[in-house]
Each structure stands twice: as structure tokens, then as C-alpha cells.
């Protein structure tokens, strides 16, 4: 794992957006379409704000989330809402968004339909992961009901996930899908999360520290300061 430390979150957002744009552009020179997978939560918004204005052929970009909270799009907790408001705007409005949510009562009832369009877009070309203090990434939470199954090599593309600290049901891309990414970036803010990442590297157990499963060959981008 390579680690880049930035002086503040603004610098980090600018540099990471540049790096992602360069990777996407490079891939678009060799492939017809590119698949970019991004996290939700509070950290990536400023990266999306910059990336959305970058000049590239967004009409050939597929965008998916790593995971989604099972809430309607107008809910403040919706990751889709974050992506729609901050990434699928400006130049990037031309990208194709593949949702991980459907307005159906439980994720279980919607998973088959939601998974269908994702298979043909794999492997992921460029993956950005967030991370929680508890060392979760996507919605792969330590102690979650389906964690072991989602970490298995034969896991389906998407799984529902319920966990303490998840604030309600979620759906997540599973480990084999995330591990298959050609390029992986992890982004986080704060010294406490940096400690958590170091701990995850040490523990190196996907069930106790899910993020550790995705760090080989990844680049971590972090700043101690907001
Ligand atoms: O929907 C989500 O919550 C995520 O995709 C999740 O994995 C997130 O990246 C981390 O929890 C970090 O979240 P913050 O950026 O809000 O700290």
C-alpha cells in the first residue's frame, strides 16, 4: 500500500480528483467505457465537486456507489443523493449512474434486479473507498450479519447488510467485486482514522478489519486536518 499525506482536505480533494481524472482518461484511450466506483459518506463530497468539472468524455463513464443506505433518494442519508448533487453535475452530468437502491421495502426484494446491470460493467476500473473508525469500508462492517458471506470469494455482486452503527439496512458491493478493481484509492480524514488504518494493516483480518482486504496495491490518501 502506498500512502499520501496532504496538508488539508482541500489539497487532498484537488490532488485526488486530478489523479482519478488522469486514470479515467488513460483508460478511455484504450477502452470504450470505464467504470468508476465511489464511496458515500461525508468525505468524498469535495472530491466530487472538483471531479465533476473535469474535461473528459463523461458519456463513456459508468458510475456506481460502493454501498447504499436503504433510504429514498431524498433522504439526507442517501449516498445516491450525494452523488447526484455533487458528482453527476457540470461536465460529469453526462455519465451513466447505476443505482444500488430501488423504492422497495427491503433490499432483499430488490437485489436481483439491482445486480443485473452491474455484472457487465465489471471489473471495476477505478475504485475509491471510504473508511470508518471501526475499520469498515463500503457497508462491510465488523460484526455485520452478512459480513462473512460478503467477504467470501464466491459472494454475489451485491448483498444486504445490517450492523450496529450502520443506522438501518444497507446494500454493499461484496469483497470479490471490490478486490477485482484495477486501481484502488482509499480516502479518509483525521488522525483517528489514520490510526484505524494502521491497526487494520496490523490485524489483517477481513472479518475484524474489513478494509484490510482491499489495501494490497491500493493508494491511501489522507489528511490530518479537515
Ligand atoms: O455509505 C457509507 O457510509 C460508506 O460508503 C462508508 O463506507 C463510508 O465511506 C465510511 O463510513 C466513511 O464515512 P465518512 O466519510 O462519512 O467518514
| Percent of the chain predicted with pLDDT > 70 | 100
Confidence check: pLDDT of 169 > 90: yes
Ligand 1 probe mutation, 40, 87, 226, most atoms within 8 A of CB: 40
Confidence check: pLDDT of 39 > 90: yes
- The answer, yes or no, to whether any atom of ligand 1 lies below 6 A from the CB of 106, is no
Sheet of 170-173: strand order equals 67-69, 170-173, 158-161
Task: Give the up-direction half-sphere exposure of residue 85: CA atoms within 13 A in the CB hemisphere.
Answer: 15
- The answer, yes or no, to whether any atom of ligand 1 lies below 6 A from the CB of 138, is yes
d(CA 74, CA 127): 25
CATH class of 2-223: alpha beta
Strands (E), 39-82: 61-65, 67-69
Confidence check: pLDDT of 226 > 90: no
Strands (E), the chain: 2-5, 34-38, 61-65, 67-69, 96-98, 126-129, 158-161, 170-173, 183-189, 219-223
- The domains of the chain are located at 2-223
pLDDT in tens, 56-95: 999 999 999 999 999 999 999 999 999 999 999 999 999 9
Output the pTM of the full model. 0.98
C-alpha cell at 1: 500500500
Amino acid at each position: 500500500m502506498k500512502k499520501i499525506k496532504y496538508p488539508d482536505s482541500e489539497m487532498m480533494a484537488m490532488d485526488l480528483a486530478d489523479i482519478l481524472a488522469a486514470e479515467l482518461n488513460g483508460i478511455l484511450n484504450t477502452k470504450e467505457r470505464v467504470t468508476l466506483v465511489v464511496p458515500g459518506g461525508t468525505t468524498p463530497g469535495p472530491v466530487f465537486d472538483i471531479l465533476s468539472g473535469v474535461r473528459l468524455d463523461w458519456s463513456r463513464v459508468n458510475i456506481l456507489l460502493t454501498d447504499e443506505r436503504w433510504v429514498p433518494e431524498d433522504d439526507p442519508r442517501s449516498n445516491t443523493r450525494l452523488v447526484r448533487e455533487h458528482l453527476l453535475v457540470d461536465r460529469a452530468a453526462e455519465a451513466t449512474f447505476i443505482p444500488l437502491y430501488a423504492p422497495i421495502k427491503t433490499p432483499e426484494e430488490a437485489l436481483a434486479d439491482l445486480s443485473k446491470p452491474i455484472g457487465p460493467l465489471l471489473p471495476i476500473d477505478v475504485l475509491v473507498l471510504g473508511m470508518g473508525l471501526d475499520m469498515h469500508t463500503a457497508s462491510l462492517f465488523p460484526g455485520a450479519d452478512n459480513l462473512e458471506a460478503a467477504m467470501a470469494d464466491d459472494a454475489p455482486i451485491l448483498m444486504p447488510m445490517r450492523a450496529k452503527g450502520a443506522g438501518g439496512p444497507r446494500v454493499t458491493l461484496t469483497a470479490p467485486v471490490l478486490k477485482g478493481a484495477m486501481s484502488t484509492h482509499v480516502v479518509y480524514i483525521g488522525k483517528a482514522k489514520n490510526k484505524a488504518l494502521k491497526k487494520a494493516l496490523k490485524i489483517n483480518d477481513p472479518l475484524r478489519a474489513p478494509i484490510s482486504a482491499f489495501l494490497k496495491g491500493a493508494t491511501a490518501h489522507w489528511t490530518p486536518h479537515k
